[in-house]
Structure formats: structure tokens, C-alpha cells
């Protein structure tokens, strides 16, 4: 056999060996790859076995997502709610799947690579959920962080002070917190019925149980992605406070309407917000002007136009006077009597109110001023008559102080009660009398007579030897009069002659 033939045979054998080794390596690699793929599929899938919609077996423990409202999967309805709308509408019951039939469902989201297989065989139904996508270490860490954050947020919402109810796009309950779960079945149905017709925030009244107190709730519904969220807040105390406030304002309004004092209240923007009928009568301001809620300076300008305000001596400083009046009223210090040209006198008082508001009170005191002037005129007349009397006269009031002393009494005793703010008590007055007309026994009798509402009379000598007749007598109203006169002047005074003309 030629040498060349042997070389060719050897080369062919070597090539055949190399090809056989490569084929064996490739087959081993493909088998391992297929095994790895099956292993990964088994790791990224879970199977559920149901019999008449009751879960009988599963190959992996399932942990429900926070906030899903499902703690454990017991039947097909639990799994159906747990899967939600990820794969579109699912059958209401697995009995809808015919024996030997298999349904392959894909995720609604086009980027979702997961799938769901529903099959029926020999009276049992098998549901398999798989996801070929394998998370990396970063992806797993991110999923864990999301799950932790979600648990925290769900815990916050679960313990929120308001009731929360979440619906899916089909109106089915996704989740509700503990506050919402406290409603009775009838209350929950009533709230859900209201939410179906709700187009804006609203407040409803819910009758109390067993004739108890009615409750009030503020209802809000918000769209959050594909879900709808219903917020229900108990505002019973707020509603009761608003009712009490409204009733109180109505009571105040009725009270103000019957007041004879005019009332004008301005808010913190210095605009008129409240008046009573007496203000219109006293100021003669037109009702349309007051109902337009004029600002405070404009209100006083209108008062001046109606001559219900004292005319300023210098009109150039009028605006400054009004500003000073407002600032003084805000401090609670403004109180002044306005004497108008028509003879009417108003007492105007400014008082601060909460939240920067200010109120002005207008009171007609014309009658009071007239009466005071008349009384003062009568008192001055009586004082003048007593001053012309030769006797020294002092009146002790019911509070045991000197309330009146004529000029002869002031000259005799050297006192002037009108020149001092301090009141002269009975004891002080009697001490002065005793110093001018010494006689301990008589002045003690005078003090007893004042206390016991009796009379006393005596003639006393002053330090110069002149005699004075002193007497004390009771007056109406628990008052007493002390009279002192010079005996010499009384004895030497001639009686006036009376002439009769025919």
C-alpha cells in the first residue's frame, strides 16, 4: 500500500475522531441547556391544583402582596382576586373550562412576559403562572425595597383616620382600610351607592342607630390611574359645630335687630359685614349703600355727608382724624360723644373683635344729656340758694361722706369739698367741727344722732368766744343735715317789714 494512501487514511481517522468529540460536546451542551431552561422555568413558575374551585395543592408557598386584602389563597376566587386584572377578565369559575381544554393567557401589558395557563383534566383544574424573566441581583434588591416601602405605605393607609375604599375599573373592591371596615353592611352599601352618583365632593347625613345621634360624612372620590379611590371622613363634630354656630348667629342677629344701639361690624379687610336696623335709623344711611359692604373710611365719609358726624374744624386733617379713630378703636380705646348740629348727641364706642375685625356702637344719648343738664341746673340752683343762706349747712349722705357744703360752712370750717377729689368722711368732718367749736360731748351726740337717725341741738362757743347754735336733723334717704349759725347774728337781725299796697 502506497505511503500516500496510509497518510490519507490516518487524516480521515483523525478528522472523524475530532468530529465525534465535537458532536459529543455539543450534544452535552444542548442537553445541559435544556435542563437549565427547565430548571429556570420550574423556579419561575407556580402551579395550583383545584377541584370544584377549591385549592387542593400547590407547588410553592404564595405570599400575598401588601394591601391586596388577601392573606391566604383558599379557592379560585381568592387566586382570581390576587391576580387582579393582569391577564384580563378571568373566568368566574374554573368549571367553565371544558375537560381536556387549555387556555393560554398573556399579560395585558405588552411589556409583561408572564403567562397564565388554565387547563382541565380528569375532574381537576390546573392553573400555572409563569414568568420567564429572571431578576438580577439589582432587580431583586429593588423589588425587596419596593415591597418594604409598599408595606409601610399600606400600614399608614390602614391606620388612616379617614375611611378609604379602592375600586378597580369594573367597580369591584380592590382594598379597603380598617376605618372603612368599621361601617355596617347597610352603611357601606349606602356609601357605595352615593359614590356611584358622585360627581363632586359632597356631605351626607347618616341616621344614628336605635334613634341615636345622626352622623355626617364628607365623601370624595378620586381617580388614581385605572383605580378609583373613595375617601369618607367623619365630620359629625364639625357639622354640629357649624349648626351651633349658625344657630348662635341667628340668635345674635335677632338680638341685634331688637337693640336700640346701632351696630356696625367691619372685618379684618375693614369692610362692613354686619349692621342692625337701629344703625339705619340713627345714621339715616341708605340700605343699598350698607348692603354693598363699603370700606370703613367710605362709611365715615357717608356719615359726614349725612351730617351724622361732627364737622371737623380743619377739613384738611379729616382723613388723618378718621385713621386715628380707626386705630384707636382697634386698640379698644375709642369712646366719644358726638354733638351734632341738629341737637342730637351720639355716644360712639369702638371695640376690637377677633381676627382683626372692629365694631362701632352708636347710641343716642340726647335724652340722657338733656336730663343730666336739667339735673345739673337744678343742683346748681339749689347750691346757689344754700350759698345765699346765712347758716352754715353740710349734708351727710347715706354712705357717711359729706355730699354738700355751702359757702358759709366752708368759711366757718375752712374746708372746700369741691376743690378736692378726696371725699370727707363723717368722722373727719366732725373732727374739723370739734376743732372750730370744741365740745367733745356734743359732737359725740351728733355722731350718734347721725347713726341712729335722731336730732340734736346745742349752743357752742368758738375759740374767740362767739356763740354758735349747732343742730343735726335727719333727712330722707338716710341722709342728715348739720346746721351751724352765729347766735349774735340771729339775735341782732331785724325782722323784715312787710308793706301792703292798696
Q: How confident is the model at residue 491 (pLDDT cuts 50, 70, 90)?
A: very low
Structure letter (DSSP) for residue 174: E
pLDDT given for residue 259 in this prediction: 83
**Claim to verify: residue 85 and residue 177 sit in the same structural domain:** no
pLDDT given for residue 461 in this prediction: 87
pLDDT given for residue 6 in this prediction: 60
pLDDT given for residue 200 in this prediction: 75
Instruction: Give the best-scoring range by mean pLDDT among 19-28, 252-261, 384-393.
Output: 384-393
Q: Cα–Cα distance between 77 and 93 in angstroms, integer? A: 8
Element (H, E) at 104: strand 102-106
Does 103 reside within a domain?
Answer: yes
Q: Check whether 489 has a pLDDT greater than 70.
A: no
Q: How confident is the model at residue 494 (pLDDT cuts 50, 70, 90)?
A: very low
pLDDT given for residue 463 in this prediction: 82
Our count of domains for the chain comes to 4
- Sign of torsion, CA 184 189 190 192? positive
What average pLDDT does range 313-340 have in this prediction?
72
Q: Which SS3 state, helix, strand or coil, does residue 266 take? A: strand
Share of residues in the chain with pLDDT > 90 (%)? 8
φ, ψ of residue 394 in degrees (nearest 5): -135, 140
Instruction: Give the best-scoring range by mean pLDDT among 31-35, 106-110, 334-338, 390-394.
Output: 390-394
DSSP 105-161: EE-SSTT---EEEEEEETTEEEEEEE------HHHHHHHHHHHHHHHHHHHHHHT-S
Least confident of 138-152, 186-200, 338-352: 138-152
Element (H, E) at 60: none
pLDDT given for residue 28 in this prediction: 59
What average pLDDT does range 64-73 have in this prediction?
62
Structure letter (DSSP) for residue 75: B
Least confident of 125-134, 151-160, 432-441: 151-160
How does pLDDT run across 356-380, given as a tens digit for each residue? 888 889 998 888 888 888 888 888 8
Least confident of 123-137, 230-244, 269-283, 286-300: 123-137
**Claim to verify: residue 184 and residue 226 sit in the same structural domain:** yes
Q: Which SS3 state, helix, strand or coil, does residue 45 take? A: strand
The burial of 68, by beta-carbon neighbours within 10 Å (0-12 exposed, 13-18 middle, 19 or more buried), is given as middle
Q: Which SS3 state, helix, strand or coil, does residue 263 take? A: strand
How does pLDDT run across 397-429, given as a tens digit for each residue? 888 898 888 899 888 888 887 777 678 888 999
Angle at 370 between CA 369 and CA 371, to 5 degrees: 90
Residues in contact with 56: Cβ distance below 8 Å, sequence separation at least 6, in sequence order: 49, 50, 124
**Claim to verify: residue 218 and residue 309 sit in the same structural domain:** no
Does 395 reside within a domain?
Answer: yes
Whole domain around residue 76: which residue ranges? 43-134
Q: Check whether 147 has a pLDDT greater than 80.
A: no
pLDDT given for residue 14 in this prediction: 61
Q: How confident is the model at residue 50 (pLDDT cuts 50, 70, 90)?
A: very high
Q: Check whether 460 has a pLDDT greater than 50.
A: yes
Please give the model's pTM, rounded to 2 decimal places.
Answer: 0.45
Length of the chain: 502
Least confident of 38-47, 50-59, 133-142: 38-47
**Claim to verify: residue 323 and residue 404 sit in the same structural domain:** no
HSE (side-chain half, CA atoms, 13 Å) at 306:
15
Q: Under a CB-based contact definition with an 8 Å cutoff, are residues 116 and 128 in contact? A: yes
Angle at 15 between CA 14 and CA 20, to 5 degrees: 100
φ, ψ of residue 264 in degrees (nearest 5): -135, 115
**Claim to verify: residue 353 and residue 269 sit in the same structural domain:** yes
**Claim to verify: residue 301 and residue 344 sit in the same structural domain:** yes
pLDDT given for residue 480 in this prediction: 92
What average pLDDT does range 53-63 have in this prediction?
82
Least confident of 60-69, 151-160, 233-242, 367-376: 60-69
For the chain, give the longest Cα–Cα distance: 206
Q: Which SS3 state, helix, strand or coil, does residue 412 take? A: helix
Cβ atoms within 10 Å, residue 309: 20
Higher-scoring residue by pLDDT: 428, 173: 428
Q: How confident is the model at residue 174 (pLDDT cuts 50, 70, 90)?
A: confident
Least confident of 117-126, 162-171, 478-487: 162-171
Residues in contact with 162: Cβ distance below 8 Å, sequence separation at least 6, in sequence order: 179, 231, 232, 233, 234
Q: Cα–Cα distance between 361 and 347 in angstroms, integer? A: 8
**Claim to verify: residue 272 and residue 358 sit in the same structural domain:** yes
Q: Which SS3 state, helix, strand or coil, does residue 176 take? A: strand
How does pLDDT run across 91-128, given as a tens digit for each residue? 989 988 888 888 898 888 887 888 899 998 888 899 99
Looking up cell 355596617 gives 184
How does pLDDT run across 251-282, given as a tens digit for each residue? 877 887 888 889 998 988 889 988 899 999 88
pLDDT given for residue 496 in this prediction: 38
Q: Under a CB-based contact definition with an 8 Å cutoff, are residues 217 and 191 in contact? A: yes
Does 420 reside within a domain?
Answer: yes
Q: Which SS3 state, helix, strand or coil, does residue 396 take? A: strand
φ, ψ of residue 38 in degrees (nearest 5): -65, -35
Of 227, 226, 234, the C-alpha closest to 183 is 234
Q: Check whether 315 has a pLDDT greater than 80.
A: no
Does 194 reside within a domain?
Answer: yes
- Sign of torsion, CA 487 488 489 493? positive
CATH code for the domain in which residue 348 is found:
3.30.450.20
**Claim to verify: residue 351 and residue 282 sit in the same structural domain:** yes
Q: Check whether 488 has a pLDDT greater than 70.
A: no
**Claim to verify: residue 119 and residue 217 sit in the same structural domain:** no
Higher-scoring residue by pLDDT: 227, 133: 227
Three-state secondary structure string covering 177-244:
CHHHHCCCHHHHHHHHHHHHCCCCCEEEEECCHHHCCCEEEEEEEEEECCEEEEEEEECHHHHHHHHH
Does 90 reside within a domain?
Answer: yes
Pairing of strands 335-339, 262-266: unpaired
pLDDT given for residue 127 in this prediction: 92
Does 7 reside within a domain?
Answer: no
**Claim to verify: residue 66 and residue 113 sit in the same structural domain:** yes
Does 246 reside within a domain?
Answer: no
Q: Check whether 38 has a pLDDT greater than 60.
A: no
Please provide the average confidence, as pLDDT, over all residues in the chain.
80
Q: How confident is the model at residue 493 (pLDDT cuts 50, 70, 90)?
A: very low
pLDDT given for residue 470 in this prediction: 92
What average pLDDT does range 41-52 have in this prediction?
78
**Claim to verify: residue 265 and residue 353 sit in the same structural domain:** yes
Q: Under a CB-based contact definition with an 8 Å cutoff, are residues 226 and 239 in contact? A: no
Looking up cell 451542551 gives 29
**Claim to verify: residue 411 and residue 484 sit in the same structural domain:** yes
Q: Under a CB-based contact definition with an 8 Å cutoff, are residues 79 and 70 in contact? A: no
- Sign of torsion, CA 448 450 453 455? positive
Element (H, E) at 48: strand 45-51
Amino acid at each position: 500500500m502506497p505511503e500516500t494512501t496510509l497518510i490519507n487514511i490516518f487524516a480521515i481517522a483523525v478528522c472523524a475522531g475530532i468530529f465525534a468529540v465535537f458532536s459529543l460536546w455539543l450534544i452535552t451542551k444542548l442537553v445541559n441547556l435544556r435542563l437549565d431552561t427547565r430548571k429556570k422555568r420550574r423556579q419561575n413558575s407556580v402551579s395550583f391544583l383545584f377541584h370544584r374551585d377549591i385549592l387542593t395543592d400547590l407547588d410553592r408557598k404564595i405570599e400575598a402582596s401588601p394591601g391586596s386584602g388577601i392573606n391566604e389563597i383558599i379557592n379560585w376566587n381568592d387566586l382570581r382576586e390576587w391576580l387582579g386584572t393582569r391577564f384580563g377578565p378571568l373566568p368566574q369559575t374554573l368549571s367553565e373550562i371544558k375537560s381536556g381544554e387549555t387556555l393560554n393567557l398573556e399579560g395585558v401589558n405588552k411589556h409583561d412576559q408572564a403567562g397564565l395557563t388554565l387547563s382541565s383534566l380528569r375532574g381537576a383544574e390546573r392553573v400555572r403562572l409563569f414568568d420567564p424573566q429572571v431578576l438580577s441581583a439589582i432587580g431583586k434588591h429593588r423589588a425587596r425595597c419596593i415591597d418594604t416601602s409598599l408595606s409601610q405605605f399600606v400600614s399608614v393607609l390602614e391606620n388612616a383616620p379617614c375611611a378609604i375604599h379602592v375600586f378597580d375599573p369594573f367597580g369591584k373592591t380592590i382594598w379597603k382600610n380598617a376605618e372603612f371596615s368599621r361601617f355596617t353592611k347597610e352603611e357601606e352599601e349606602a356609601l357605595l351607592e352615593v359614590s356611584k352618583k358622585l360627581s363632586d365632593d359632597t356631605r351626607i347625613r347618616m341616621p344614628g342607630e336605635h334613634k341615636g345621634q345622626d352622623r355626617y360624612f364628607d365623601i370624595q372620590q378620586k381617580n388614581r390611574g385605572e383605580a378609583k379611590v373613595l375617601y369618607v371622613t367623619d365630620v359629625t363634630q364639625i357639622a354640629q359645630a357649624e349648626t351651633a354656630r349658625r344657630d348662635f348667629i341667628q340668635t345674635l342677629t335677632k338680638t341685634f335687630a331688637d337693640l336700640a344701639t346701632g351696630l356696625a361690624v367691619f372685618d379684618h379687610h375693614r369692610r362692613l359685614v354686619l349692621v342692625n336696623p337701629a344703625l339705619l335709623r340713627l345714621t339715616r344711611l341708605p340700605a343699598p349703600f350698607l348692603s354693598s359692604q363699603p370700606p370703613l373710611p367710605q362709611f365715615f365719609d357717608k356719615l359726614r355727608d349725612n351730617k351724622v358726624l361732627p364737622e371737623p374744624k380743619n377739613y384738611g386733617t379729616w382723613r388723618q382724624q378718621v385713621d386715628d379713630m380707626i386705630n384707636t378703636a382697634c386698640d379698644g380705646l375709642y369712646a366719644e360723644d358726638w354733638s351734632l348740629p341738629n341737637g342730637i348727641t351720639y355716644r360712639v364706642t369702638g371695640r376690637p373683635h377677633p381676627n382683626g375685625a372692629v365694631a362701632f356702637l352708636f347710641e343716642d344719648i340726647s335724652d340722657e344729656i338733656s336730663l343730666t343738664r336739667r339735673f345739673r341746673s337744678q343742683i346748681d340752683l339749689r347750691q346757689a340758694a344754700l350759698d345765699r343762706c346765712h347758716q352754715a349747712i353740710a349734708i351727710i349722705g347715706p354712705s357717711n361722706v359729706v355730699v354738700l357744703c355751702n359757702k358759709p360752712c366752708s368759711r366757718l370750717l375752712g374746708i372746700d369739698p369741691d376743690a378736692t377729689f378726696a371725699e370727707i368722711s363723717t368722722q373727719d368732718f366732725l373732727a374739723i367741727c370739734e376743732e372750730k367749736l370744741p365740745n367733745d360731748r356734743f359732737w359725740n351726740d351728733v355722731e350718734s344722732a347721725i347713726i341712729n337717725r335722731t336730732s340734736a341741738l346745742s349752743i357752742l362757743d368758738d375759740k374767740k368766744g362767739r356763740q354758735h347754735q349747732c343742730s343735726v336733723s335727719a333727712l330722707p334717704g338716710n341722709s342728715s343735715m348739720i346746721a351751724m349759725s352765729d347766735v349774735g347774728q340771729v339775735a341782732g337781725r331785724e325782722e323784715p317789714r312787710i308793706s301792703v299796697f292798696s
